[in-house]
């Protein structure tokens, strides 16, 4: 019976992971990036954010301006999104996940790695930026920084190189300033997870 209560809690928690729920996904993305260009935001969530969703997001602290979308500091949405800093850390422990999985009879995956997979898989499936993103990500796994000029040398146009750098920045994967694209500090620290996800999506040799 005790494990049933724990199972109910884990089911509810998993259902709210950014990789599983669009509301928390949007909140977490805005929390991680500090805000997104409005046009890009609606391109990313064109089939998700209807007037009712927008109304709910505004109540949670999402600010919709003419040129950007951001999350108010310490708003309810900001507090919800910030909780995943701790959840990601707690569930980073493989032995802990295994023990809880066995106790509640659920397969509990690493939520950070799932979230990273969603972000990378999304950009790779984007018809406008998928090819460019594949080239940029493959370069970034080998080193922390790549320039737009180096991406041009790999076959992209200057416009494609700058555009994909901005898209990866909006997904919280890189920092981009003046043509210099740097892997985010989080991914530098979690390079093993980054590499596993790139193998999983077929950017690196491994899973297709």
Q: How far apart are CA 197 and CA 193, in angstroms?
A: 6
Maximum alpha-carbon separation in the chain: 61
Cβ–Cβ < 8 Å for 24, 56: no
Domain 112-200 has CATH 1.10.10.10: yes
Same fold, 2-109 and 112-200: yes
Residue spans per domain, the chain = 2-109, 112-200
Strand partners, 176: 181
In 30-74, DSSP assigns E strands to: 36-37, 62-64, 68-71
- Tokens 């892997």: give the residue: 183
Per residue of the chain (208 residues), give pLDDT as tens.
Answer: 558 899 999 999 999 999 999 999 999 999 999 999 998 899 888 889 999 999 999 999 999 999 999 999 999 999 999 999 999 999 999 999 999 999 999 999 999 999 999 999 999 998 889 999 999 999 998 889 999 999 999 999 999 999 999 999 999 999 999 899 999 999 999 999 999 999 999 998 754 4
**Topology given in CATH for the domain delimited by 2-109:** Arc Repressor Mutant, subunit A (1.10.10)
Closest residue by Cα to residue 140 from 199, 200, 181? 181
Query: Euclidean distance between the first and final Cα of the chain, in Å?
Result: 41
pTM of the predicted model, to two decimals?
0.90
């Amino acid at each position: 019976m005790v494990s049933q209560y724990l199972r109910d809690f884990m089911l509810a928690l998993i259902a709210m992971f950014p990789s599983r729920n669009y509301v928390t996904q949007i909140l977490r993305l805005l929390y991680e990036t500090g805000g997104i260009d409005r046009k890009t935001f609606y391109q990313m969530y064109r089939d998700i954010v209807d007037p009712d969703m927008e109304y709910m997001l505004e109540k949670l602290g999402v600010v919709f301006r003419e040129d950007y979308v951001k999350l108010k500091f310490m708003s309810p949405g900001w507090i919800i999104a910030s909780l995943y800093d701790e959840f990601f850390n707690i569930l980073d422990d493989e032995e802990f996940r295994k023990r809880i999985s066995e106790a509640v009879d659920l397969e509990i995956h690493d939520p950070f790695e799932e979230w990273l997979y969603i972000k990378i898989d999304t950009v790779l499936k984007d018809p406008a930026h998928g090819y460019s993103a594949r080239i940029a990500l493959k370069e970034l796994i080998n080193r922390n920084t790549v320039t737009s000029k180096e991406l041009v040398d790999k076959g992209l146009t200057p416009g494609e190189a700058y555009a994909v750098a901005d898209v990866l920045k909006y997904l919280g994967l890189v920092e981009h300033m003046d043509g210099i694209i740097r892997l985010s500090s989080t991914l530098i620290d979690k390079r093993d997870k980054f590499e596993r996800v790139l193998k999983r999506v077929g950017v690196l040799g491994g899973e297709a």
